Amino acid sequence: MLGKTTEYALRALVYVYMQNIKGKRPGYKEISKEIDSPEQFTAKVLQNLARAELVSSVKGRGGGFFFDEPTNPITLFKVIEAVEGKEYFSKCGFGLKRCDANNPCPLHDNYAPVREAFYEMVNKMTIQSLANKINKHEATLSRI
């Protein structure tokens, strides 16, 4: 459903948050190693997220990525929107130019509720809530 770029973004931000809690500011080399993603491309993804102000960064010795206000939760929706674009949850599933409930495609009545459930899910979940699951050993950040 989501592109690889978005997957890297989610995993990277979760790792950054987990390290921030421990008072650390990881760099892209460490991040990419821990989340099993391509190093340079992960740097690019994090740069874009920083430009979108979803994460902060400091250059130079001792620098790295971090959250300015770790208490301000970042929904997965914000990340998806930043990476995949604003239209992700409003496109017609049948490929028509617009999704229009008043003049629907034959998929709409069944598709829209699924799309809506996904939308609500990613608005409920946050980078922080994902990180907490991992810290409670209820989930894993990467897999061999």
State which of residues 21, 47, 48, 93 lies at the interface with its own copies (CB under 8 A). 93
Residue 33 or 133 with smaller CB distance to ligand FES:
133
Residue spans of beta strands (DSSP E) within the chain: 56-58, 64-66
Q: Which of residues 24-83 bind DNA (CB under 7 A)?
A: 26-29, 37-41, 43-44, 46-47, 50-51, 57-65
Q: How many CB atoms lie within 10 A of CB 115?
A: 17
d(CA 128, CA 75): 9
Selected from 23, 60, 62, 106, the binder of its own copies by CB under 8 A is 106
* Angle 116-119-124 from CA coordinates, rounded to 5°: 125
Picked from DNA, ligand FES, its own copies, none, the partner binding residue 69 (CB below 5 to 8 A depending on kind) is: none
46 CA to centre of own chain? 11
AA identity, residue 32: S
Please report, for residues 37, 67, 116, 127, the alpha-carbon distance to residue 42 in angstroms, rounded to integers and kept in the order given.
Answer: 7, 17, 30, 17
Longest dimension (CA), the chain: 58
Instruction: Kindly list the residues in this chain that would bind ligand FES in the complex (CB under 6 A).
Output: 92-94, 96, 99-100, 104-105, 107-108, 111-112
Q: Is 8 in the site for its own copies (CB under 8 A)?
A: yes
# binding residues, its own copies (CB under 8 A):
45
Enumerate residues 6+ apart whose C-beta is below 8 A from 110: none
Name the minimum Å distance from CB 76 to ligand FES.
13
Query: Which chain residues interact with its own copies by CB under 8 A?
Result: 1-2, 4, 7-8, 10-11, 14, 76, 91, 93-98, 100, 103-108, 110-111, 113-115, 117-118, 121, 124-125, 129-131, 133-134, 138-144
